[in-house]
Amino acid sequence: MAVQPTIHDHLGRAKPAGHAARPSDRQALRVTVVGAGYVGAVSAVVLAHLGHRVTCVERDAPRLERWRDGEDPLKEPGLAELLKEVRIRFVGDASDIAFADVIVVAVGTPMGDDGRPDLSQVDDAAIQIGSLAREGAVVLMRSTVPVGTCDRLQNGPLRHQRVVSNPEFLREGRAVHDALFPDRIVVGGPQEARDLVERLYGRIIKGENLFGGDGTAPRVVPVVWMSPRSAELAKYAANGFLATKLSFVNEIANLAQAIGADAGAVLGSMGLDPRIGPQYLHPGLGWGGSCFPKDTRALQAIADGAGYDFVVLRAAIDQNTRQLSRFANAVKRALPAQSRVGLLGLAFKAGTPDIRESPAIALAGLLIQSGLRVSAYDPAVRALPADLGVMVHSAVVEACAGADAVVVATEWPEFADMDLEAVRAVTRGDLLFDGRDLISPNRAVAAGFRYQGLASLGE
Ligand SMILES: NC(=O)c1ccc[n+]([C@@H]2O[C@H](COP(=O)([O-])OP(=O)(O)OC[C@H]3O[C@@H](n4cnc5c(N)ncnc54)[C@H](O)[C@@H]3O)[C@@H](O)[C@H]2O)c1
């Protein structure tokens, strides 16, 4: 498995995280975080690291047990190390909310059956908080919620508290880093909450060197205050824009192929323009994950609700569905029914075991539907629900043994470096489909594969 660098490696720290100076007791706040998933657990650990007194409530008993055992079920780089250095109470019971200055809402907002966010976890949490929290406590909404949700809760179950929209922008696989060193802190809420929010994030905002080492230079983090509605939209706008950027990049790569241009050269040159920037310029078989699909659909619903036809977003979502089908069709065309595919990658991206809305899993589904068989390997995913019909192995060569084609679906660095001769030695067929443009075509050909990257798929 490709070892992810630890938080210390990411940040180039000389000293362990625990060497940070603690804020004075006057600044320390009592914080209860509701939900111990990516956003909740990472917020809890980072806020405890900043010196606040943190309790984290999780209602899923197996997940709670793992946190209590000091394990990180999310496998986020640096999180297990920080967890050892801070004091957090992980609890199943919400009663600590009664003593909190700040309650952080970090529960899930998955896509509902109609494509809109399912707000049942947020609504349940709000009722619980409303019944327990003291008057004037700040309720920080870190979950991604539709525009108007904070106002609705402020006028409903949380009428005695101060509801503040504070969207989270962390990336899975970089969650601790992003939480400690955010690009910006977006806050939407009443002025009376300002002091408390600034105390909560004080050391991050001031760009204090949180590790006392000689790593990245301190940087003051902009805090952008706005209305709750604007803060809610700011989150969806950011994710909608990034997803659209990726869809556009995939279109350029497809077009480059159609007209005989080199997509890598085109996109590489675009990235040198500071107005465009080099990130999110890599073509792939489509975007996925726990956020982009649901947040783009939610943004679309927000626009629909306002009677606004968000043409660009609609096209970006549509392009993404086509991108995956295009890739799946190329694999299907090349293989007779009953052929077996060795699928490399199941996580929605490298650096995380998260398979929510993973394009790799969606691809496996399309291939299986068309009569192909799929065996898979992912460095971070050890098992899948049986009904998906994918056999998960514990090594690349096991997943590819006897396969008629190898398909790379997640951009894990270890796939870029894998021993292609050893893989080719165990496969039956010689096709290698690279859905992430990760593998050197020359190396693949030298190892005896017929290489098909995104630039050579055909329509
Ligand atoms: N995962 C990301 O990369 C990311 C990034 C930015 C924002 N977000 C947003 O943050 C929110 C949370 O995302 P996540 O990925 O951390 O979700 P998650 O599903 O991993 O975690 C949510 C947790 O909350 C728990 N929970 C729900 N209701 C509860 C309650 N009443 N009491 C105690 N625990 C409760 C669930 O059991 C679950 O463990 C979502 O709105 C998401 O869109 C996620």
Q: Which of 39, 74, 170 to mutate for ligand 1's pocket (most ligand atoms within 8 Å of CB)?
A: 39
Q: What distance in Å separates the CA atoms of residue 307 and residue 203, rounded to the nearest whole number?
A: 42
Q: What distance in Å separates the CA atoms of residue 170 and residue 183, rounded to the nearest whole number?
A: 10
Q: What distance in Å separates the CA atoms of residue 205 and residue 207, rounded to the nearest whole number?
A: 5
Last residue of a domain, one of 209, 226, 243: 226
**pLDDT tens-digit profile of 227-243?**
999 999 999 999 999 99
For ligand 1, say whether the CB of 76 is within 6 Å of any of its atoms: no
Task: Work out which ligand 1 atom sits closest to the CA atom of 38.
Answer: 16
Strands in 106-253 per DSSP E: 138-141, 162-165, 185-188, 223-226
* Count of beta carbons in the 10 Å neighbourhood of residue 157: 20
Total count of domains within the chain: 2
Smallest CA-to-CA distance from 452 within 325, 331, 322, 319 is with 331
Q: Which of 107, 183, 292, 348 to mutate for ligand 1's pocket (most ligand atoms within 8 Å of CB)?
A: 107
**pLDDT tens-digit profile of 60-70?**
999 999 999 99
For ligand 1, say whether the CB of 239 is within 6 Å of any of its atoms: no
Q: Are residues 209 and 272 in the same domain?
A: no
Q: Are residues 175 and 276 in the same domain?
A: no
Q: Are residues 217 and 260 in the same domain?
A: no
pLDDT surpassing 90 at residue 12: no
8 Å CB contact between 200 and 2? no
In a domain, 434, yes or no: yes
In a domain, 382, yes or no: yes
Range of the domain at 350: 234-459
Q: Are residues 59 and 208 in the same domain?
A: yes
Q: Are residues 242 and 222 in the same domain?
A: no
Give the H or E element holding residue 421.
helix 420-426
For ligand 1, say whether the CB of 40 is within 6 Å of any of its atoms: yes
**pLDDT tens-digit profile of 412-438?**
999 999 999 999 999 999 999 999 999
Q: Are residues 293 and 311 in the same domain?
A: yes
Residue 430: left (phi > 0), alpha (psi -120 to 50), or beta?
alpha
The catalytically annotated residue of 56, 150, 291, 400 is: 291
pLDDT category, 33, cuts 50, 70, 90? very high
CATH of the domain at 79: 3.40.50.720
**pLDDT tens-digit profile of 158-186?**
999 999 999 999 999 999 999 999 999 99
In a domain, 2, yes or no: no
Q: Are residues 248 and 264 in the same domain?
A: yes
How many A from CA of 311 to the centre of ligand 1?
30
DSSP label of 301 = H
Query: How many alpha carbons lie under 13 Å from residue 443 in its C-beta half-sphere?
Result: 14
Q: Are residues 104 and 195 in the same domain?
A: yes
In a domain, 1, yes or no: no
Q: Are residues 89 and 11 in the same domain?
A: yes
8 Å CB contact between 116 and 146? yes
Catalytic annotation present for 150: no
pLDDT of residue 208: 78
Q: Are residues 92 and 186 in the same domain?
A: yes
Q: Are residues 433 and 306 in the same domain?
A: yes
Angle between helices 292-305 and 311-334 (to 10 degrees): 140
